[in-house]
Chain A
């Protein structure tokens, strides 16, 4: 049975006849929530967001209402809102759809949020590769300005707020919120250490700043529409609202699919929603939350206790798609990027590919990250080039262990987790690679075979 999507954020995306201009948005009830928001008390909106339980969609899953509460409102400094539209976590492609196909939803969500935190200036930090997305947002902002939905004295409410679209330039680390802030200040995107530089206290220009993901800010619009309480009924307690799962890799129908949290299992997502694997192929592994999240092996049994004490005993296909379940099996839902690998995948090559990415993207501030991540890349590249050693798996793991937890920003973990989890789950393949190469060499054949992923 095919599962029906339940779209909230993507309700109009790809709908026949729906266009991204403001007239179409208004025809579909657009900006009604902004009209409502500016008549509310800002703190009441914050209370609704807290009541909704909505967790950040950018990666860490931190409750938005709690983050907003950390905002230093007493400093007397201006407050800023930043929308993180860097969408740089490999495997993630949901924010792109919102920006390209429903930009006013984001603008409305941002203005509601900016009003709630009383920010007079907001930024959309958009990745540099989104050339078209940048133009679309600029155009949408001018459309909104022309209708007094943005800018000075919005809808006669006395509240003013402008939005600046700021383009990145191809660096993944700009997705990390403090790196993003440095970048927005005109510097290299070197992340700042927390504490003390929590953006809510010392953010942009050392002023209190809220950074939220595109999807999180869109959620705020729906929280105002439904009320926090009703929003919290979507999904399960602690895992509220919908999530847009971006499925890529070896499935028949890759794409983006929106469901309430926990409404389906990983197996249903792969088999019922994405049409299963290619003919004759078997599932080998899944990276469930963007390339930084820990890999799950298809034949594992996942046993343990959920936060509420319920015991679980799941196969990979039984895992409910929500924040807490994916955390309980030792990974995370992260940014919603679900990467599927079938049995044709060479795990050493897959890790070599991932290591190449992180080695390319380290900002270079911390020694363990700057030196360790390229070292891991070198080891896996050497393994693929025919010089694998049986002890490489342990070497890789040792390097990763010395990076995670020892760096300024969470990039250190993002780069270490794939290595640690690939070795934990597929060590046999790493050792086997060395053995195979040795026996080919003995037979006088070239040790390396042609690679496809690196």
Chain B
């Protein structure tokens, strides 16, 4: 596994800030995942070694936290909030529209590897429901029309 020099630098700066090294486990998972796109066995072993832990210590947090992934996502990672306030605002309909237009079922990655569509839980922006995230960017008030526009931009690669 080859990490970018910036990632290594961030890791080296971060670890000594914590009074106990193990506290850096979750931040390191984030940094390595951002670098690699997901956390492979090799990544887990690497993080464990860096923190003087056993691979199981990292594996158990990787399997606990929903945002940590064992597999890469599609080029576009689309997360639709489905929790009650968003649902009251039409999130399930928004998701159905995205499924149709992106030709992928929620919980899956499209066959061409372009889009991963997932349901997620409340993103703490419920006043602007429905809330959708694409990558690290948040889109709010995503009704049916906005969902179609978003899907079109994803399809033609302009997002």
Contact = CB atoms under 8 A, between A and B. Distances in A.
A342 B66 CA distance: 32
Interface in B73-126: 82-85, 87-90, 92-93, 120-126
Contacts of B93: 452
A256 B123 CA distance: 15
Interface stretch (B1-9, B57-65, B148-156): B57-65
A96 to B, nearest CB: 5
A246 interface: yes
Contacts of A256: 127
Interface residues of B, number: 44
Interface residues of A, number: 60
Contacts of B147: none
A185 B23 contact: yes
Contact of B84 (A78, A168, A255, A350): A350
B144 interface: no
A166 to B, nearest CB: 7
Contact of A164 (B18, B26, B30, B60): B18
B83 A90 contact: yes
Interface string A318-362: 000000000000000000010101000100001001101100110
A169 B124 contact: no
A172 interface: yes
Interface string B41-63: 00000000001000001001100
Nearest to A95: B124
Contacts of A127: 124
Given A248-B126, A248-B127, A254-B129, A171 B66 contact: yes
Given A164-B18, A205-B19, A353 B65 contact: no
Contacts of B87: 353, 452-454
A247 B127 CA distance: 6
Contacts of A291: 83-84, 122
Nearest to A250: B88
B129 A248 contact: yes
A139 interface: no
A335 to B, nearest CB: 10
Given A188-B60, A188-B64, A248-B129, A166 B27 contact: yes
B70 interface: no
A355 B111 CA distance: 31
Contacts of B84: 90-91, 249, 287, 291, 339, 350, 353-354, 357, 453
A170 interface: yes
Nearest to B14: A164
Interface string A166-208: 1111111000000000011111110000000000000001000
A13 interface: no
Contacts of A287: 84
A87, A170, A350 — most chain B CB neighbours (10 Å): A170
A128 interface: yes
Contact of A169 (B17, B26, B138): B26
A66 interface: no
A454 B127 contact: no
A183 to B, nearest CB: 7
Contacts of B82: 353, 356
Interface of A: 78, 87-93, 95-96, 121, 127-132, 162, 164, 166-172, 183-189, 205, 246-250, 254-256, 287, 291, 337, 339, 341, 345, 350, 353-354, 356-357, 360-361, 363, 451-454
Given A453-B88, A454-B87, 8 more contacts: A89-B122, A91-B126, A164-B18, A169-B66, A186-B20, A246-B126, A354-B84, A357-B83
Closest 10 CB pairs of A and B: A169-B65, A186-B25, A170-B67, A186-B22, A170-B66, A248-B85, A248-B126, A169-B67, A90-B122, A131-B136
